[in-house]
Structure 1
Amino acid sequence: MKNIVLVCTLLLIASCAQDKTPILGETPFQKKLNAEFKDATTSPLHKKDRKAFKGLDFFKFDSAYIVKAAFKRTEKESVFEMKTNTTRTPEYVKYGELHFDLQGRRFLLNIYQNIELIKTEGYEDYLFLPFSDETNGVETYGGGRYIDAAIPEGDSLTIDFNKAYNPYCAYNEKYSCPIVPRQNYLNTRIEAGVKMFKKE
């Protein structure tokens, strides 16, 4: 009798293991993002989209899109209200400039700091890097994408465009998302990071 119970228990465990869909992703970043989107407590997706969700669509990882940028701290910048897709206008300050080479061309991106967010524990050194590029509206979200960063200790900062992600308003209209400043438009195709979200 004990053997029968044991066999049934093992079969039940095996069945549950088969039913659990593995988290998709080529890199740890992709797997982490897919896990967040699959989890009802952290997902920005509508309930119906989450039920059909298998994984986000990413460009193939490309180390050519990991660049070492020269970081220039910009002092005495004025706090400004960054436009969003709603009436909300969060306060930001331009924290610095990033100068880098990509595919034989020279580019510049401004990097920002959220005035309210830095008061939150764990976000004291958080920097916000929004950008738009020539893939927007074609392969990627039309409003541009974001990259998370931290205050560098020296005069350089590594930008990994493979970790570019969409604002939450790309998935759900209830979210209020900063609009990429026009100064952060890159006149090139950034074929890295998250692609446009296609609903099932």
Structure 2
Amino acid sequence: MKKLTLLFLLLSLSMTAQTENEAVAAIKNFQKELNDEYLNPKESPLRGNNLKDFKKHPFFPVNLKYRLIADFIKTTDAKPIDFPTSSGQFQKYLEFGRATFVLDGKSYTLTIYQNVRLSGKSGYEDYLFLPFRDETNGKETYGGGKYIDLRIPQDDKITIDFNQSYQPFCAYNAYDYSCPIVPEENTLPVKIEAGVMYDDVYHH
């Protein structure tokens, strides 16, 4: 019986390590893709010398503490809402659902949205949008908050990885871009030390 118990323990530890390795690999891939996007003149929000001098984003150290499995409740009978943006314009979004998770022993809930226009494009039908603010904003990260891209979950759980959070384009170029403003209800009263950090060399 002891040998069987030890075998199960070793298998469990092996599976945990494999899952963690996959999570770290996904985060590293996210960082590479984001850097590649900002280096590409056709995709980057950077202009002029900012684009020329850009090498890579600063990131918080990868921390799987900020990769969370949240309880997900889909919003029923959701109607399109006018989402305010940084330019004073509006974009159509649906409140798609709410995610509740535990971080450092405390429970938090964030509202997740779906961009109405984007959801009609091929490849983005299951795309979800999570804007949030936290206590790093204006210090280690952009003052207007950060975003996370998600996909529609298959059940009542959704993975939120703050290590894959990024700053809106208007953090780097407020003249050419209009970015959704983070709703007040999505303000977290804690520091989320994960994802892209603020770099005042490229921000305007």
Deviation string, structure 1 residues 149-171 (Cα, Å, up to 9, x no partner): 01100100000000000000000
* 1:36-185 matched pairs, under 5 angstroms: 36-173=37-174, 174-185=176-187
RMSD of aligned residue pairs (Cα, Å): 1.1
Tell me the SS of whatever aligns to 2:95: strand
Quote the offset at 1:35 in angstroms.
1.1
**Partners of 1:118 and 1:34 in 2: how far apart?**
25
4+ residue segments displaced more than 2 Å: none
**Partners of 2:29 and 2:125 in 1: how far apart?**
24
**Partners of 1:183 and 1:147 in 2: how far apart?**
16
**Partners of 1:140 and 1:55 in 2: how far apart?**
15
**Partners of 2:192 and 2:88 in 1: how far apart?**
29
Q: Point out where structure 1 has 5 or more consecutive residues left out of the alignment.
A: 1-25
**Partners of 1:198 and 1:184 in 2: how far apart?**
25
2:190 maps to what in 1? Answer: 188
| Structure-2-length-normalised TM-score | 0.83
How many pairs does the alignment contain?
A: 175
Q: Quick one: which amino acid aligns to residue 171 of structure 2?
A: A
| Structure-1-length-normalised TM-score | 0.85
Larger-gyration structure (1/2): 1
Determine if contact 1:170/1:197 at 8 Å carries over to the other structure: no
Quote the offset at 1:78 in angstroms.
2.6
1:198 maps to what in 2? Answer: 200
* 1:12-23 matched pairs, under 5 angstroms: none
Quote the offset at 1:197 in angstroms.
2.6
Q: Point out where structure 2 has 5 or more consecutive residues left out of the alignment.
A: 1-26
**Partners of 1:108 and 1:43 in 2: how far apart?**
32
